[in-house]
Structure 1
Amino acid sequence: MYSEVKIYIPKKMVGGKAKPDLSKQWYVYFYFRDPITGKMGRQPFKTYRNINQGKTIKERKAIARAWVNTITGILEDGFNPYDEDSARVVARKRTDMTPSIRQAFTEALEHKKATLKPNTYKSYWHYLNPFLEWIKRMGIGGNPIESFTQRHAIAYMNYLADPKPYGKELHPNSVSNHKGNLSAIFSKVVQDRWADRNFFVDIQTKKVKPRKNQPFTKEEMEAIQAYTKEFDPLLYNFLRFIFYSFMRNREILSVQVKHIDMKKRTVAIETKADKISHILMIEPMYQFLEDLGVGDLPDHYHIFTPSGKPGHWPTNPRDKVNFFAKRFRAVRDHLGIDPEKTTYSFRHNAALDLFQSMIEDGMPEREVVARLMKITRHRSEEALRKYLRDIGGVLPEDWSATYRTNF
């Protein structure tokens, strides 16, 4: 009766390769059999709705995939674009009848949308889309949600973990993330009484704990500084900003000119808890921003952009963070540095440097911790002390002379 619902992505040639074109209209389309001729219609049915509001390729694809899932669902329910009454029939059917597995998951997420931040909503779709593709391949997407069992949930988790070509061969932490996000969506299915319990909650997934809080060695810091200053000045300035400000990557990349007060030497940031915090601009930060001439720039300009100079960068925060993370990984791999050391490690080195410097200057340890709390933004002395122990800042003095037994 109808074709597969697909996404039309216009292309342009860039460097001899066809690339998605954001300057042209994207849409989702499908063909439907003409009830008069009995043949598949030549003209596709299209929808452009909201798709071209996406500012990046990734955003447009996410919106378009959501429409593919929605349209596929209503076609499975019997929607006929040639029949004016079919839309009402489908709407009534969706109200009166048990939804399919596909519908239950997609509608659950749509119902949660009002309570979610835009980026959280997009993140949920990032995890839901592979699941929808899997149930389609398994031929169960159109089955009633009542037929979905824990065996299906476990089978999908196994598929994510199994080696290629039989599975996705994802890292245990990624599998755990998929489970957590699908569990959050399915909790709405349970809340709507389409399922008795959340089948994802009880699934045991193996999560590998990374070695946290790994600072760089002195030699590694020097190597990174020398390499980035010469070959990637943009990354060098970004890493310096982390080191001197103790700001997180996402916080730095959200900073716009309007958040900076050069007279008071402060930067306003939105923290992980969605609160506004003010960071003191110490001299290296102030000089960097002064050299950029932020006082003469438009308020909406971001400080760090791919061009290497302030400008408008409307990309979503996750993609911004990934942009700089990818650049840093290239440097780290080139220099042969432990892959568990990340841009976050510069905060650890900064904390170590300040702690050891203050202790060597004779400042009492309790006073050092109190002063550092204001800089690192830890919420308690206990949390800061634990952090300092983790990064090697608080170590006992040599106790070998205290032994009374030689061994």
Structure 2
Amino acid sequence: MPSISVLLSTVNENANVFRMKLNYSEPKIYTGGVDVNRWSSLTKKEQQQALDKDWFVYFSFRDPKTGRLKKRPQIKGGANRLKTKKERLTFLKIIQRNLLILLEAGFNPYKDNSDLEEDFLNGRLLNGKRSTSNTKTVEKAHLITEKSKAPKEKESVQNNMVSIKEAFGIALETKKQVLNQNSFSKYRSRINAFKKAMSELYSENDSITSITKKDVIGYLNETLTRTSARNRNNVRTDLSSFFQALEDNELIENNFIKKINILKAVPKRNKSYTPQIQKDITDYLEKNDTLLLLFVQFVCYNLLRPIEVCRLKIGDLDLNDRKIYVKAKNSPVKIKIIPEIMLAQIPDLTKKNKEHYLFTPYGLGGEWKVADNDKRNYFTKRFKKVKDHLGLGIDYGLYSFRHTFISKLYREFVKATTPFDAKTKLMLITGHTSMDALDKYLRNIDAALPEDYSNLLK
């Protein structure tokens, strides 16, 4: 009777999926008593302790005498001569896959499997059924069957052959065409971090379909432990977008990330400034950093986001027509007016190069060839000196000025008109694309406050 090790080595790489039996358990891999999905979070000592143990494939088969599933001998196949987790896991996954093919083909450790071995060796096994015809006849029948399948099924077979390396390259290139530089930079960073984590489990030449929902859940759980629920949800969103790109390009059957739940996360936002804090900040900046003061005024009076101020070039300001052309978050370019209060703060820019950025570390107007995020981070750090001087915590930032002045505008508008009319006017200034979006924003920053209701409590 041929041993299971001999049979495993003869399984055809292109064998089809066979009909599932109920007299065996699904083969599993023992990985030294640790969860390999959390491998990168283990200490070097814990990783080595796991590698010092034997790794193997194990399964159970129904005993014909008792009718119960009984564990079979462990299958190591020389895996423990391999020194790294990646090598061992890749090797054992091949054994696991081939063992499952054998079991589905009818392998029974309590019977003679000589015929099964011969069928695999001679290529006479097709769709789990033995054929008495010669190999060429079987191959011809298999070819005819493949040609008669629906186009979608043929594409599915082809797609399963796309490697992890190829799939990541295709999906990233697709997203690069539709995301702006700032968004794509964040997206690529998260996807590459995920790819690195998957390289601990799979070879880059493995099929993209090797990555399972369980693998992704393990990665998200590790992200949650290391960071926060909010960041975990953001990673999930990017992974869902990534796998959707794979589905759209027919590299996978479906985007299973959609079925992974979103965790409840408390949103963080910058607090609005009180009138006294605004005065203290202005007084400090007038004496110590007039460039940063002008930066803040663009946020306050033009209600720009800090990153939008960083994108401004000299040529984006038309001071004669009192217009400013802004590359906004939700559109290529938005045109806004420059209010008189802001116009009075802007110095003469006529001698500046229109292609130069308005704000640079060295002053107004100049070349500054770094990413938008890095520009924003620079001014955020520069503003931290002001916060440290005034003893302001992490809840305050440059974005707080936008919240503060939008709230101020809304409360002034609503004094003379209805809330709906006030928000209609405000939308033209803030650049929100819908009333619902503006409503949500105003609720988040507590812009709408009730009148004093003391008389109702007497």
For the superposition of Structure 1 and Structure 2, which TM-score range results when normalised by the shorter chain? 0.5 to 0.7
Would the alpha carbon gap of residues 145 and 237 (structure 1) be closer, same or farther in structure 2, given more than 3 Å must change? same
Would the alpha carbon gap of residues 242 and 154 (structure 1) be closer, same or farther in structure 2, given more than 3 Å must change? same
Q: CA deviation at 1:222?
A: 2.5
Which whole-Å CA distance do the structure 1 matches of 2:353 and 2:243 have between them?
44
Cα deviation digits, residues 223-275 of structure 1 (max 9, x gap): 32233333433322211111111122222222212222121111112333325
SS in structure 1 of the partner of residue 364 of structure 2: coil
1:127 aligns with one of 190, 199, 203: 190
Correspondences of 1:157-172 after superposition (within 5 Å):
157-162=220-225, 169-172=226-229
Does 2:338 align with 1:281? yes
Gaps of 5+ in 2: 1-157
Q: Which residue of 2 aligns with 1:394?
A: 448
1:149 aligns with one of 212, 217, 221: 212
Q: CA deviation at 1:306?
A: 1.4
Q: Which residue of 1 aligns with 2:97?
A: none
Would the alpha carbon gap of residues 345 and 156 (structure 1) be closer, same or farther in structure 2, given more than 3 Å must change? same
Give the partner amino acid of 1:113: K
Which whole-Å CA distance do the structure 2 matches of 1:202 and 1:277 have between them?
37
SS in structure 1 of the partner of residue 296 of structure 2: helix
Correspondences of 1:276-315 after superposition (within 5 Å):
276-289=333-346, 291=347, 293-315=348-370
Which whole-Å CA distance do the structure 2 matches of 1:125 and 1:285 have between them?
37
- Paired residues in the alignment total 300
SS in structure 1 of the partner of residue 336 of structure 2: strand
Give the partner amino acid of 1:150: K
Q: Which residue of 2 aligns with 1:342?
A: 397
Q: CA deviation at 1:309?
A: 2.1
Which whole-Å CA distance do the structure 2 matches of 1:257 and 1:212 have between them?
31
Which whole-Å CA distance do the structure 2 matches of 1:327 and 1:153 have between them?
38
Larger deviation, residues 142-151 vs 332-341 = 332-341
1:240 aligns with one of 297, 313, 328: 297
Q: CA deviation at 1:210?
A: 2.0
Cα deviation digits, residues 332-376 of structure 1 (max 9, x gap): 3553334233322212222343445567xx744566555444333
Does 2:192 align with 1:192? no
Which whole-Å CA distance do the structure 1 matches of 2:241 and 2:437 have between them?
29
1:323 aligns with one of 378, 403, 427: 378
Cα deviation digits, residues 273-294 of structure 1 (max 9, x gap): 32533222223422332x2x21
Would the alpha carbon gap of residues 233 and 171 (structure 1) be closer, same or farther in structure 2, given more than 3 Å must change? farther
Which whole-Å CA distance do the structure 2 matches of 1:111 and 1:388 have between them?
35
Q: Which residue of 1 aligns with 2:127?
A: none
Which whole-Å CA distance do the structure 1 matches of 2:340 and 2:353 have between them?
23
TM-score (norm 1): 0.64
Q: Which residue of 2 aligns with 1:107?
A: 170
Give the partner amino acid of 2:208: I
SS in structure 2 of the partner of residue 108 of structure 1: helix
Would the alpha carbon gap of residues 171 and 225 (structure 1) be closer, same or farther in structure 2, given more than 3 Å must change? farther
Give the partner amino acid of 1:396: P
Give the partner amino acid of 1:395: L
Percentage of matched positions with identical amino acids = 29
SS in structure 1 of the partner of residue 325 of structure 2: strand
Correspondences of 1:7-406 after superposition (within 5 Å):
98-162=161-225, 169-212=226-269, 214-289=271-346, 291=347, 293-356=348-411, 363-365=416-418, 371-379=425-433, 387-388=441-442, 390-403=444-457
- Report if the CA contact (8 A) 1:333-1:339 is conserved: no
Q: Which residue of 2 aligns with 1:82?
A: none
- Report if the CA contact (8 A) 1:244-1:282 is conserved: yes
Larger deviation, residues 123-132 vs 99-108 = 99-108
Would the alpha carbon gap of residues 311 and 284 (structure 1) be closer, same or farther in structure 2, given more than 3 Å must change? farther
Q: CA deviation at 1:186?
A: 1.8
TM-score (norm 2): 0.57
Give the partner amino acid of 1:321: R
**Structure (1 or 2) with the larger CA radius of gyration:** 2
Q: CA deviation at 1:118?
A: 4.0
SS in structure 2 of the partner of residue 146 of structure 1: helix
Which whole-Å CA distance do the structure 1 matches of 2:433 and 2:166 have between them?
43
Which whole-Å CA distance do the structure 2 matches of 1:368 and 1:185 have between them?
40
Would the alpha carbon gap of residues 327 and 176 (structure 1) be closer, same or farther in structure 2, given more than 3 Å must change? farther
Give the partner amino acid of 1:322: N
Larger deviation, residues 369-378 vs 318-327 = 369-378
Would the alpha carbon gap of residues 172 and 390 (structure 1) be closer, same or farther in structure 2, given more than 3 Å must change? closer
For CA contacts below 8 A with separation 6 or more, give which structure has more relative contact order.
2
Larger deviation, residues 298-307 vs 193-202 = 193-202
Which whole-Å CA distance do the structure 1 matches of 2:410 and 2:394 have between them?
25
Which whole-Å CA distance do the structure 2 matches of 1:389 and 1:155 have between them?
35
Q: Which residue of 2 aligns with 1:16?
A: none
Which whole-Å CA distance do the structure 1 matches of 2:440 and 2:182 have between them?
32
SS in structure 2 of the partner of residue 288 of structure 1: coil
